[in-house]
A = this chain, B = another copy of it.
């Protein structure tokens, strides 16, 4: 990467590098009209492109925002990334991407790499975890973040704080009301239902999953229902599929006929995110079960690409893009912490996948499906 330099431009324009610098970048001092014109012409003719590395070095700031996600191809993260990207653009910065599959060790490495590049701020979108095997990794990640913040860096993390992070200056958390929303979802599903509730959760210790599980159980309890059974599996589509296969076997093994109350009890499945729900639905289908006839299912996130899924998936809408945007703005100091402590809200969106369909149940709410 060779390219013409500022001094070359300056020489061609017959001015000093200082002057060239002043006209080519918005300095406080603006040289005279004629000189400015000469310099600009020289720059143009030389195809001058400022060296951002050198600029960064001189100004000690890079115009970079580091973004950490588990997997950029996961629609959840992709949506957040879009928001981050958008906010970055507003700020005139560029985003530096790192994918870590949720491994704290990789995340630590990514933070170090961002720090090395002197990123102005870091946004961590990946769900936090408190799993025992992540303990050491989390500690090191927290230490790395701490160091980054001490050096003046800004960190925003989505959902939960990193385990062990002492909230120093420059450390922000964008809270996501996972628990409350899950409770709300449970409440809505519990209305005039007495289905068997089952939760397909991610690995224990994954905060996002745990919050949603806890919230759902709370909602059930508030409705006077017993806690749902929890099936733990991978936090992705294939995890949902596996769980779905297992559940399908059980649903088929306990036919309605066995029910003493005289009418069918359906299984209502709550998968802690949409892609898991889709996986589970696919599994049920492949086992010959129909939704919502033989079982109902709900997810979480309201992934855009899944909106046209059939049967339309009941879920909890989360403003993912806004979450990304807000995290990015917060890390840039554009949102006062105290001014707006938490502005992320979602809402339960019931669609066909949890509709009541059994005549014997005596209830059949027709819920609107969008578009």
- Chain A residues within CB distance 8 Å of chain B: 1-3, 47, 49-54, 56-57, 60-62, 64, 67, 71-75, 78-79, 81-82, 85, 94-99, 112-113, 115-118, 120, 147, 151-153, 237, 241, 275, 278-279, 281-282, 285-286, 303-306, 308-310, 321, 371
Contacts and interface: CB of A to CB of B under 8 A. Distances in A.
B53 A62 contact: yes
B1 A60 contact: yes
A282 B308 contact: yes
Contacts of A151: 1-3
Given A52-B116, A241-B371, A279 B308 contact: yes
Number of copies: 2
A187 to B, nearest CB: 28
B60 A57 contact: no
Given A85-B72, A94-B117, A241-B371, A308 B309 contact: yes
A119 B254 CA distance: 61
B72 A78 contact: yes
Contacts of A303: 305
Nearest to A285: B310
A110 to B, nearest CB: 9
28 contacts: A1-B61, A1-B118, A1-B152, A3-B151, A47-B147, A49-B112, A49-B116, A51-B57, A51-B118, A52-B116, A52-B118, A53-B53, A72-B81, A72-B85, A73-B75, A73-B78, A73-B79, A73-B81, A74-B78, A75-B75, A75-B78, A82-B99, A95-B97, A96-B96, A96-B97, A279-B308, A281-B308, A282-B308
Contacts of A57: 51, 53-54, 57
Nearest to A119: B1
A118 B1 CA distance: 6
Contacts of A60: 1-2
A214 to B, nearest CB: 27
A3 B144 CA distance: 13
Nearest to A69: B85
A2 B150 CA distance: 9
What 10 A-B pairs are tightest by C-beta distance, nearest first? A73-B82, A52-B116, A78-B78, A310-B310, A282-B308, A3-B151, A52-B117, A53-B56, A1-B118, A73-B78
A95 B85 CA distance: 13
A74 B72 CA distance: 11
Contact of A1 (B1, B72, B120, B279): B120
A240 B178 CA distance: 33
A99 B85 CA distance: 7
Contacts of A47: 147
A96 B95 contact: yes
A237 B47 CA distance: 40
A94 B97 contact: yes
Nearest to A94: B96
Nearest to A309: B309
A118 B117 CA distance: 13
Contacts of A85: 72, 97, 99
Contacts of A67: 97
A290 to B, nearest CB: 11
Q: Which of A95, A96, A116 has the most CB of B within 10 A?
A: A116
Given A94-B117, A281-B308, A286-B371, 12 more contacts: A2-B60, A2-B152, A3-B115, A51-B57, A53-B53, A82-B99, A94-B96, A94-B113, A95-B97, A97-B97, A285-B310, A305-B306
